[in-house]
Amino acid sequence: MARLSTRKRESLSSSQFGLPEKRKYPMPDESHARNARARAEQQEEKGNLTPGEKRRVDQKADRILGEDGR
């Protein structure tokens, strides 16, 4: 996965984030979408992310990856 610089992250539109209102879980490409899905799983397990927020991140990642879900 290519590193996402601060400048590049700030230039992303809100629609490129799994949680656009918080600008969390950036997904400008497939590798970031896979990573966002994995990090969301970890954060839900720790109690830092609600199941609904995780579902939204997963759905966005699925669209980017061209998957129907799991």
Q: What is the pLDDT along the chain (70 residues), one digit of tens a residue?
A: 778 999 999 999 999 999 999 999 999 999 999 999 999 999 999 999 999 999 999 999 999 999 875 4
Q: Which domain holds residue 31?
A: 13-65
Query: Does any domain span residue 5?
Result: no
Partnered with residue 24 across adjacent β-strands are 19
CB contact at 8 A, 57 and 69: no
pTM of the prediction? Answer: 0.89
- In this structure, what token pair is assigned to residue 58? 């997963």
pLDDT value, residue 67: 84
* Cα torsion 42, 35, 33, 23: sign: positive
Query: Does any domain span residue 55?
Result: yes
CB contact at 8 A, 18 and 25: yes
Number of domains in the chain: 1
CB atoms within 10 A of CB 44: 18
pLDDT value, residue 2: 77
